[in-house]
Amino acid sequence: MYIFIILLLIIVIGFFVLSRDNRVDREIKSVEISGLKKGGKIVQISDLHYLSSRLTDYGESYNEKIGVVDAKPVKNVDKILDSLILEVIEIKPDVLVISGDITFNGERVSHEEVSSKLNILKDKGIQVLVIPGNHDIDSQRSNSYFGDEIETVENIDSNDFSNIYSSFGMGENKRIVSRDNHSLSYLYKLSSNVNLLLLDTNSGKNINEVSNGTLKWIERILKYTSSRNEIVISVSHQNILIHNKMFASGYRIKNASSIVELYKKYNVRLNLSGHMHLQHISQYNGVYDISIGSIGLYPHIYAVVDIDDVNTIEYFTEKLSISKWMEKYGYKDDTLVNFDNFSREKFRENVLMQSSKVLSGEKTIGKFKKEDIEKMMEFMVDSSVSYFSGEIYKNPQLRKDNPTLKMWLEHFSDEFQVKYLESIYTDDVLRNHNEITIKQ
Ligand SMILES: [Fe+2]
């Protein structure tokens, strides 16, 4: 009798072990793509927030809701995308990764326009891979802006997203070796030793969260890739580590610690994220999360990630040049000739608008000289622009002991904007957040 029970147990356990292995085999297509090289080159952008020019006349309602309040030159976003496409063709990476918030607020027209522009890269043999951001699917704020009217326009759901971007990671592709059943996440085989794990946390029920099903899928594919000594670089929209203590909730994926644990276990060293519009490198237990600045915001950063055949990852950023694109196509536009200055000015005006709200109250009347107020305003501008570019380290004036920072902290410490200013000046802000080399 006992022997019978033991035999039965062995059969049952054996069945579960085998069926789990089979599941991995079923999920991960064994791709024997011939002639796969080693290493690879990735360009990453995030948070383009593209608004189609067919949805606005850039009149009153646009200016009031976007033009004046947004630090990004949204009106020029089509030129930003065109310039990016030109630079990506010159760099000729294996893939361009877009880590979400492709559109302003998920408008169908904006999605379709971006997708159609991306076809240029497809025609040049450069694969584009996308995942959605929190603005891209089922948005309740998809609007048009004409005259003084704001009207709801058609948004898209996750099926539409898959259809619109079917050539860009969401449809059939022999290099997509596994897809998650619980989200739009997938695994892309970049080369013989490198895989990209594109993690979706913005469709279905689990927004800014990875479901248990997806976590199990991640573990199965990481087991598979590590058994073959291949590396995985992951990509997510929201962050897997904190980049600024004031902005953790809503920015870091809710159950990010489970992801980081898995990455630590299977030696996934790098996650490329976005969402914060901030260029910042965080590290925990050997796992790096690099939040990239928004391509739509000054200084219009994109990242280049180079992986060699011994799994060394080199990460650095570049700044987009609109004038290069204008020169190439003979495009004339006075605003865009000095696009860098124009776009920085847009960012500056936005910060000044916020600062002046703090500095125009009763607290300042008769207490500060005019030049002190101006100094404080400009300090806030320089701090914000340099912080979002990951470049505080470059400006020796931007330090904790700067007397203008002390003035802000002494008199306005209870204001949100000043708490934010204080949060910038942590010890790690003095590092270069635009470059890193990670050895496996
Ligand atoms: Fe976002």
Residue with tokens 């992986």: 307
The lowest-confidence range among 12-26, 145-159, 176-190 is 12-26
Q: Which residue has the higher pLDDT, 364 or 356?
A: 356
Count of residues making up the chain: 440
Question: Once rounded to an integer, what is the mean pLDDT over residues 308-328?
Answer: 92
Question: Once rounded to an integer, what is the mean pLDDT over residues 239-244?
Answer: 97
What is the pTM for the complete model shown?
0.93
Fold observed for domain 338-430: Serum Albumin; Chain A, Domain 1 (1.10.246)
Give the per-residue pLDDT at 131: 98
Question: Once rounded to an integer, what is the mean pLDDT over residues 177-203?
Answer: 97
Expressed in angstroms and rounded, the spacing between residue 17 Cα and the centre of ligand 1 is: 40
Expressed in angstroms and rounded, the spacing between residue 117 Cα and the centre of ligand 1 is: 21
Task: Give 27's pLDDT tier (boundaries 50, 70, 90).
Answer: low
Collect contacts of 63-69 with beta carbons under 8 A, ≥24 apart.
65/145, 65/150, 66/104, 66/145, 68/353, 69/350, 69/353
Give the per-residue pLDDT at 217: 97
Expressed in angstroms and rounded, the spacing between residue 49 Cα and the centre of ligand 1 is: 9
Expressed in angstroms and rounded, the spacing between residue 276 Cα and the centre of ligand 1 is: 7
Expressed in angstroms and rounded, the spacing between residue 273 Cα and the centre of ligand 1 is: 10
Task: Give 20's pLDDT tier (boundaries 50, 70, 90).
Answer: very low
Spatial distance between the Cα atoms of 281 and 131, rounded to a whole number of angstroms: 21
Calculate the alpha carbon distances from 282 to 101, 271, 286, 290, 395 in Å.
21, 10, 10, 6, 21
Q: Which residue has the higher pLDDT, 55 or 440?
A: 55
On whether the CB atoms of residues 343 and 298 are closer than 8 A, the answer is: yes
Task: Give 335's pLDDT tier (boundaries 50, 70, 90).
Answer: confident
Question: Once rounded to an integer, what is the mean pLDDT over residues 60-68?
Answer: 97
Q: Is the pLDDT of residue 21 over 80?
A: no
Expressed in angstroms and rounded, the spacing between residue 40 Cα and the centre of ligand 1 is: 27
Expressed in angstroms and rounded, the spacing between residue 98 Cα and the centre of ligand 1 is: 12
Expressed in angstroms and rounded, the spacing between residue 232 Cα and the centre of ligand 1 is: 23
Q: Which residue has the higher pLDDT, 331 or 126?
A: 126
Ion ligand 1, residues whose Cβ is below 5 A away? 101, 133-134, 275
pLDDT (tens digit per residue) in 282-317: 999 999 999 999 999 999 999 999 999 999 999 999
Expressed in angstroms and rounded, the spacing between residue 101 Cα and the centre of ligand 1 is: 5
Q: Is the pLDDT of residue 32 over 80?
A: no
Phi and psi angles of residue 394, each rounded to the nearest 5 degrees, phi first: -75, -25
Expressed in angstroms and rounded, the spacing between residue 294 Cα and the centre of ligand 1 is: 10
Expressed in angstroms and rounded, the spacing between residue 353 Cα and the centre of ligand 1 is: 23
Give the per-residue pLDDT at 320: 96
Expressed in angstroms and rounded, the spacing between residue 213 Cα and the centre of ligand 1 is: 23
Expressed in angstroms and rounded, the spacing between residue 12 Cα and the centre of ligand 1 is: 46
Coil, strand or helix at 40: strand
pLDDT (tens digit per residue) in 109-162: 999 999 999 999 999 999 999 999 999 999 999 999 999 999 999 999 999 999
Expressed in angstroms and rounded, the spacing between residue 304 Cα and the centre of ligand 1 is: 21
Q: Is the pLDDT of residue 19 over 50?
A: no
Give the per-residue pLDDT at 17: 45
Coil, strand or helix at 139: coil
Give the per-residue pLDDT at 363: 74
Q: Is the pLDDT of residue 404 over 90?
A: yes
Phi and psi angles of residue 61, each rounded to the nearest 5 degrees, phi first: -70, -35
Expressed in angstroms and rounded, the spacing between residue 6 Cα and the centre of ligand 1 is: 54
In the chain, residues under CATH classification 1.10.246 are 338-430
What one-character DSSP code corresponds to residue 50?
B
Give the per-residue pLDDT at 433: 98
Task: Give 333's pLDDT tier (boundaries 50, 70, 90).
Answer: confident
Q: Which residue has the higher pLDDT, 4 or 372?
A: 372
Give the per-residue pLDDT at 311: 92
Among residues 343, 338, 243, the alpha carbon closest in space to that of 299 is found at 343
Expressed in angstroms and rounded, the spacing between residue 229 Cα and the centre of ligand 1 is: 33
On whether the CB atoms of residues 271 and 263 are closer than 8 A, the answer is: yes
Mean pLDDT (the chain) is 92
Task: Give 268's pLDDT tier (boundaries 50, 70, 90).
Answer: very high
Expressed in angstroms and rounded, the spacing between residue 144 Cα and the centre of ligand 1 is: 20
Expressed in angstroms and rounded, the spacing between residue 182 Cα and the centre of ligand 1 is: 21
| Domain at 32-327, CATH class | alpha beta
In the chain, residues under CATH classification 3.60.21.10 are 32-327
Question: Once rounded to an integer, what is the mean pLDDT over residues 69-73?
Answer: 95
Expressed in angstroms and rounded, the spacing between residue 187 Cα and the centre of ligand 1 is: 22
Expressed in angstroms and rounded, the spacing between residue 209 Cα and the centre of ligand 1 is: 13
3-state secondary structure the chain: CHHHHHHHHHHHHHHHHHHHHHHHHHHCCCCCCCCCCCCEEEEEECCCCECCHHHECCCHHHHHHHHCCCCCCHHHHHHHHHHHHHHHHHHCCCEEEEECCCECCCEHHHHHHHHHHHHHHHHCCCEEEEECCCCCCCCCCCEEEECCEEEECCECCHHHHHHHCHHHHHCCCCCEEEECCCCCCEEEECCCCEEEEEECCCCCCCCCCCCHHHHHHHHHHHHHHHHCCCEEEEEECCECCCCCHHHCCCCECCCHHHHHHHHHHCCCCEEEECCCCCCEEEEECCEEEEECCCCCCCCCEEEEEEECCCCEEEEEEEECCHHHHHHHHCCCCHHHHCHHHHHHHHHHHHHHHHHHHHHCCHHHCCCCCHHHHHHHHHHHHHHHHHHHCCCHHHCCCCCCCCHHHHHHHHHHCCCHHHHHHHHHCCHHHHCCCCEEEEEC
Expressed in angstroms and rounded, the spacing between residue 400 Cα and the centre of ligand 1 is: 29
Task: Give 407's pLDDT tier (boundaries 50, 70, 90).
Answer: very high
